[in-house]
A and B are shown apart, each in its own frame.
Chain A
Amino acid sequence: MGPRRYILRKLLHALATLAFVLSVNFFLFRILGDPVTLLSRSLRLDPTEQLELRQELGVADPLPQQFVNYVGDTLRGELGVSFLSGRPVSQVIAERTWPTVLLVGSATLFATVFGLLAGIRGAWNRGSAFDSGSLLGSLVFFSMPEGWLGMILLIVFAGTLGWFPAGGMESVEPYTGLQHVTDVLHHLFLPCLTLTLGYIGEYTIIMRSSLLEVMGEDYVTTARAKGLRDKMVRRHHAVPNAMLPTFTLIFFSFGFVLGGSIIVETVFSWPGLGLLTYGAIDRLDYPVIQGVFLVFSAAVIVANLAADITYGYVDPRIREA
């Protein structure tokens, strides 16, 4: 199958998945409960006012009609208005997107890079002190509760030593330019460290076992027998083949970035999407819930699509299949 047909097929798959997600997104949250009852209680509405509220919020129409409206609005980029605050959902989500991307994105990036490097080195020098150390470290940090680790770091480095702020994404002073960048980095350090340590184990272990498998293959022995230096064998023959399983993991991890991290966001008071989602679910703020899940699902689907397409380029065997 030629490259163009391959890409097209993957693209169509992605769109179909997105359409399915849209439908599930809409119907699933209707099961959670009726927001109008909640709102009418705090506003103390009588039955006529309740009906008006239902109409205003668009929940008075029969379900199929609501769904059609929902699809139409979504395609136009109109995600509705928050039940709780009356602010446009797209604005509410947009405010929180960059902080999430910054925190979870950078942590994922560091965890990927350092995790892969550590996994490669561990497998290549199997049995060494480094290998045992990194394996132990990976398991320890991976199984450690993020919230606990984050809290310890916060108490020691922010509370007691005062080296870092105890929360938030930026200082109140209106810094600009480079000062602003370093201010945000200063706030970012502890939460990013917490998340990185939590994620890093995954990559180390997968990369390590994948590489160990490849190292036993015939073509690696051949490359060595040809007289290539160790570093070259590793870099050009072993690692590229060992990368394939981790590839999917990496792409998915980046797809999940927009899901945020509720626990770390809570510990460090980081204004991200994770907490927004949790709060919206708790208060049955349908438009926000739907908006966030749509954005999140779309991100995962796009990441999956990117993985599929890149796979096709990286490994010709997949394209030929």
Chain B
Amino acid sequence: MLGRVRVMAALVLVVGIAGGGFVRATAQESPVPDEKLTLNVGLTEDFVSPNPFVACCTMDYEFLFLNYDMLLNFDTVDLSPAPGLAESCEPSPDHMDWTCTIREGVTWSDGQPLTAEDIAFTYTFIVENKGTGVFGDYLPYQPTFEAPDATTFIWHSSEPTFAPEIPPWIYILPKHIWEPLDGKSGQEIKGFEEIPAVGSGAFNMVEWKPGQFVRFDANKNYWNGVPTIDEIVYRIFENQEAMVQALKSGELDYAYDLSPTLANSLGGTTGIEVYEGAPGSWTNLAFNFGGQSAAAGVDEVTETNHPALQDIRLREAIAHAVDKQALVDTIYQGYALPGDTFMRPDSAFWHLDIPAEEEFAFDLGLARQILDDAGYLDTDGDGIREDPVSGLPLAMDIVTITDEFGSVDSGKLIEGWLEEIGFDIELRPVTTTKIYEIWELGDFDMYVWGWAGDVDPDFIMSVFTTNSCLVWSDGCYSDPQVDAWHEEQRTLFDRDERKALIDQMQRYLYEQLPELALTYEQTIHAYRTDRFTGYFPVPQPEGDLLFGWGPYSQIALEPVTAEEAAETQDGGGIPVGVWIGLGIGVVAIAALLLVRRGREEEDERV
């Protein structure tokens, strides 16, 4: 009886291996003329939801860019506003009314025509309903919207604004699908899920298996270029190593976001190209200036900021004590740039680059000198300097985040440098969840976190205004000059004039050190060169190829050769014959073992 169990078990295993192999082998050995051209992309972040108002992360935004259109697009060269659903938008002389001409002939994926009404509906929906907050920032001054006819969209603002021109990062939704949700609770709006998701974009999301993959079909009627590929599959991997293995074996055509070590291990593999996208985010060392309890309106003082941090000379000394290049080389293994201004570098038009000779150079001797001159001396000989004003030793904590790559390691290196110049540093590694609490209470001296921000500088500059305390500000930095400039830049409608003021702000903030931008991290991509060609960096020349600012690469991709086009899944798999042979071999061995054992039993120990 036991023997029979063994045989059954062996057979199951054999069927599994052989059958699976058979399936794969037949898939690749019988190319059907109408086989679909599929792009297989791997990433390690799951899709959260097809609901635009729940969107948070990488895959969500990729979905939104593929499935929907915007009023205006991000230009592929420098992310400035480009025609989208609107062919053009013109302001009234007082910049309070903007009129946009909507292009004709665009249809939703369910066949309904897209008109200016859908745009007016979407924007009004966002302004009037709860739970749509993430997009509300782009619609300031309580605007109203109308669509007098199918191709005209008008934006009425209660104050002069250039908000329609930023471009507003809002995806246009179909009125005939979303109208029933108007006026419902935030939870109902955010709970609405519909697959396939009706959209007007270059690709349409048709299937989602949570934790596994998201599938898109190409929109062969797309107004901005017809994709050659028929289908894109985004496969979710739970670890990068497995994803890279899948790229190597050919299961994937493209892998997104590799760690520096993995990228290095791939270097030199034939047929695979490693690509470093332009940085769109940075890690920073933020200083706490206090005032959180007052801003929260509570009596109990919860902030624990060290008073010496208010002194700009102390912050300058810290700036000179951080070797940003070392951070780039050690932690990111070269896949990063030293940080300077508080503006994402891939927003090329707005980002100000501080010339190397004007930056805070890494110089421990100079840092010590600055502290000596400012009166921070070690009066009791314990190796730690004291603050002459408060008498407190320069004992501070640096909070780091365990689940953000680079934070903990940056903190450790900074601790080393600061202790060399006379600080006493305590590191506090915590989770992302925990640091929100710490931030809210102001219970820290410094922390290592990060920013990405928008293409347009309005948002990230607002982070450094007084009113941003307990909204977005890291340490409640406050400077009336910055507040005034932020107000002013909103009124400058000439782009170059505004750029001059934004540059001035970036320069000023760089020198005032509300925080220190440590490194601009690059996202690392890898893709097979033997499969598709035509990947398109946005913005030019070094932006992201996929997971960027629009469906540009996906539309432009072409298969490498005609033969490649016939194959969808190549795995370097084993031919059917080998599977069957393997299977027979396993059964044979199992049978042999059983028979022999049976005979043994008969003679043994009777």
Chain A interfacial positions (CB closer than 8 Å to B): 33, 37-38, 41-45, 49, 52-53, 56-57, 81, 84-87, 92, 95-96, 99, 110, 113-114, 117, 151, 154-155, 158-173, 175, 178-179, 181-183, 185-189, 229-231, 265-272, 275-276, 282-284
The residues of B that contact A175 with a CB separation of less than 8 Å are 23
Using A175-B23, A266-B238, A266-B239 as known contacts, say yes or no to A81 and B187 having CB atoms under 8 A apart: yes
A114-B134 Cα distance, complex, nearest whole Å? 54
The residues of B that contact A183 with a CB separation of less than 8 Å are 20, 23
| Contact B433 A86, beta carbon cutoff 8 Å | no
Q: What is the CB-to-nearest-CB distance from A59 to chain B, in angstroms, rounded to a whole number?
A: 13
| Contact A282 B431, beta carbon cutoff 8 Å | yes
Nearest A residue to B241 via CB reads: A151
Chain B interfacial positions (CB closer than 8 Å to A): 2, 5-6, 9, 15-17, 19-24, 27, 38, 40, 48-49, 51, 54, 56, 130-131, 133-134, 185-187, 190-191, 193, 209-213, 215, 233, 235-239, 241-246, 248-251, 403, 431-434, 436-437, 440, 471-472, 569, 571-574, 601, 604-606
Q: What is the CB-to-nearest-CB distance from A60 to chain B, in angstroms, rounded to a whole number?
A: 14
A282-B434 Cα distance, complex, nearest whole Å? 10
| Contact A43 B134, beta carbon cutoff 8 Å | yes
| Contact A81 B191, beta carbon cutoff 8 Å | yes
The residues of A that contact B242 with a CB separation of less than 8 Å are 154, 158, 166-167, 267-269
The residues of B that contact A113 with a CB separation of less than 8 Å are 5, 9
Chain A to chain B: the 8 pairs with minimum beta-carbon distance, closest first = A186-B20, A271-B211, A159-B245, A182-B19, A166-B246, A185-B16, A162-B572, A86-B191
Using A158-B249, A267-B242 as known contacts, say yes or no to A229 and B237 having CB atoms under 8 A apart: no
The residues of B that contact A95 with a CB separation of less than 8 Å are 210-211
Using A38-B433, A167-B246, A188-B16 as known contacts, say yes or no to A271 and B209 having CB atoms under 8 A apart: yes
| Contact A170 B9, beta carbon cutoff 8 Å | no
Using A113-B9, A167-B238, A271-B211 as known contacts, say yes or no to A41 and B436 having CB atoms under 8 A apart: yes
A88-B343 Cα distance, complex, nearest whole Å? 39
| Contact A172 B133, beta carbon cutoff 8 Å | no
Nearest B residue to A32 via CB reads: B433
Looking at B48, B242, B437, B604, which has the most chain A CB atoms within 10 Å of its CB? B242
The residues of B that contact A272 with a CB separation of less than 8 Å are 211
A199-B250 Cα distance, complex, nearest whole Å? 32
The residues of B that contact A84 with a CB separation of less than 8 Å are 48, 54
Q: What is the CB-to-nearest-CB distance from A83 to chain B, in angstroms, rounded to a whole number?
A: 10
Using A167-B242, A189-B17, A267-B242 as known contacts, say yes or no to A162 and B249 having CB atoms under 8 A apart: yes
The residues of A that contact B243 with a CB separation of less than 8 Å are 166-167
Q: What is the CB-to-nearest-CB distance from A88 to chain B, in angstroms, rounded to a whole number?
A: 8
Nearest B residue to A96 via CB reads: B211
Q: What is the CB-to-nearest-CB distance from B466 to chain A, in angstroms, rounded to a whole number?
A: 17
Q: What is the CB-to-nearest-CB distance from A70 to chain B, in angstroms, rounded to a whole number?
A: 17
Q: What is the CB-to-nearest-CB distance from A106 to chain B, in angstroms, rounded to a whole number?
A: 9
| Contact B48 A114, beta carbon cutoff 8 Å | no
A40-B250 Cα distance, complex, nearest whole Å? 43
Q: What is the CB-to-nearest-CB distance from A313 to chain B, in angstroms, rounded to a whole number?
A: 21
A159-B244 Cα distance, complex, nearest whole Å? 8
| Contact B133 A45, beta carbon cutoff 8 Å | yes
| Contact B238 A265, beta carbon cutoff 8 Å | yes
Using A185-B20, A267-B239 as known contacts, say yes or no to A168 and B15 having CB atoms under 8 A apart: no
A87-B51 Cα distance, complex, nearest whole Å? 10
A84-B187 Cα distance, complex, nearest whole Å? 11
A52-B235 Cα distance, complex, nearest whole Å? 37
The residues of B that contact A38 with a CB separation of less than 8 Å are 433, 436
Looking at B21, B235, B243, B471, which has the most chain A CB atoms within 10 Å of its CB? B235
Partner of B19, one of A42, A185, A231: A185
A106-B250 Cα distance, complex, nearest whole Å? 29
| Contact B212 A271, beta carbon cutoff 8 Å | yes
Looking at A171, A172, A270, which has the most chain B CB atoms within 10 Å of its CB? A172
User: What are 10 A-B interface contacts by the 8 Å CB criterion?
Assistant: A166-B237, A167-B242, A172-B38, A173-B569, A178-B19, A186-B21, A189-B17, A229-B606, A269-B242, A283-B433
A267-B238 Cα distance, complex, nearest whole Å? 7
A87-B49 Cα distance, complex, nearest whole Å? 8
Q: What is the CB-to-nearest-CB distance from A270 to chain B, in angstroms, rounded to a whole number?
A: 8
The residues of A that contact B245 with a CB separation of less than 8 Å are 154-155, 158-159, 166
A57-B190 Cα distance, complex, nearest whole Å? 13
Nearest A residue to B605 via CB reads: A230
Looking at A52, A186, A265, A272, which has the most chain B CB atoms within 10 Å of its CB? A186
A268-B236 Cα distance, complex, nearest whole Å? 11
| Contact A86 B51, beta carbon cutoff 8 Å | yes
| Contact B606 A33, beta carbon cutoff 8 Å | no
| Contact B24 A167, beta carbon cutoff 8 Å | no
Nearest B residue to A99 via CB reads: B211
The residues of B that contact A169 with a CB separation of less than 8 Å are 212
The residues of B that contact A45 with a CB separation of less than 8 Å are 133
| Contact B436 A162, beta carbon cutoff 8 Å | no
A316-B569 Cα distance, complex, nearest whole Å? 58
The residues of A that contact B54 with a CB separation of less than 8 Å are 84-86
A87-B188 Cα distance, complex, nearest whole Å? 10
Q: What is the CB-to-nearest-CB distance from A80 to chain B, in angstroms, rounded to a whole number?
A: 11
| Contact A165 B210, beta carbon cutoff 8 Å | no
| Contact B187 A56, beta carbon cutoff 8 Å | yes
Q: A172-B213, A230-B605, A271-B210 are in contact. List 16 more A-B contacts (CB 8 A).
A: A33-B433, A33-B437, A81-B187, A117-B5, A117-B6, A159-B245, A163-B21, A167-B235, A172-B40, A182-B22, A185-B19, A229-B606, A269-B238, A276-B211, A282-B431, A283-B433
Q: What is the CB-to-nearest-CB distance from B266 to chain A, in angstroms, rounded to a whole number?
A: 12
| Contact B56 A42, beta carbon cutoff 8 Å | yes
A96-B212 Cα distance, complex, nearest whole Å? 11
The residues of A that contact B237 with a CB separation of less than 8 Å are 166-168, 269
The residues of A that contact B21 with a CB separation of less than 8 Å are 163, 186
Looking at A41, A42, A99, which has the most chain B CB atoms within 10 Å of its CB? A41
The residues of A that contact B6 with a CB separation of less than 8 Å are 117
| Contact B49 A44, beta carbon cutoff 8 Å | no
A167-B213 Cα distance, complex, nearest whole Å? 11
Looking at A170, A171, A187, which has the most chain B CB atoms within 10 Å of its CB? A171
Q: What is the CB-to-nearest-CB distance from B471 to chain A, in angstroms, rounded to a whole number?
A: 6
| Contact B440 A37, beta carbon cutoff 8 Å | yes
Nearest B residue to A92 via CB reads: B210
A283-B57 Cα distance, complex, nearest whole Å? 14
A56-B191 Cα distance, complex, nearest whole Å? 13
A163-B603 Cα distance, complex, nearest whole Å? 42
| Contact B433 A282, beta carbon cutoff 8 Å | yes
Nearest B residue to A164 via CB reads: B20
The residues of A that contact B431 with a CB separation of less than 8 Å are 282
Using A154-B242, A168-B235, A185-B15 as known contacts, say yes or no to A179 and B212 having CB atoms under 8 A apart: no
Nearest A residue to B440 via CB reads: A37
Q: What is the CB-to-nearest-CB distance from A150 to chain B, in angstroms, rounded to a whole number?
A: 9
Q: What is the CB-to-nearest-CB distance from A56 to chain B, in angstroms, rounded to a whole number?
A: 5
Using A96-B211, A170-B212 as known contacts, say yes or no to A284 and B238 having CB atoms under 8 A apart: no
The residues of B that contact A267 with a CB separation of less than 8 Å are 238-239, 242
A273-B605 Cα distance, complex, nearest whole Å? 49
Looking at A52, A167, A182, which has the most chain B CB atoms within 10 Å of its CB? A167
Partner of A117, one of B2, B22, B251: B2
The residues of B that contact A168 with a CB separation of less than 8 Å are 212-213, 235-237
A115-B233 Cα distance, complex, nearest whole Å? 40
The residues of B that contact A185 with a CB separation of less than 8 Å are 15-16, 19-20
Nearest B residue to A284 via CB reads: B433
A59-B210 Cα distance, complex, nearest whole Å? 28
| Contact B433 A159, beta carbon cutoff 8 Å | no
A155-B268 Cα distance, complex, nearest whole Å? 18
| Contact B23 A179, beta carbon cutoff 8 Å | yes
Q: What is the CB-to-nearest-CB distance from A228 to chain B, in angstroms, rounded to a whole number?
A: 9
The residues of A that contact B235 with a CB separation of less than 8 Å are 167-168, 172, 269
Partner of A182, one of B23, B185, B471, B571: B23
Partner of A275, one of B22, B185, B238: B238
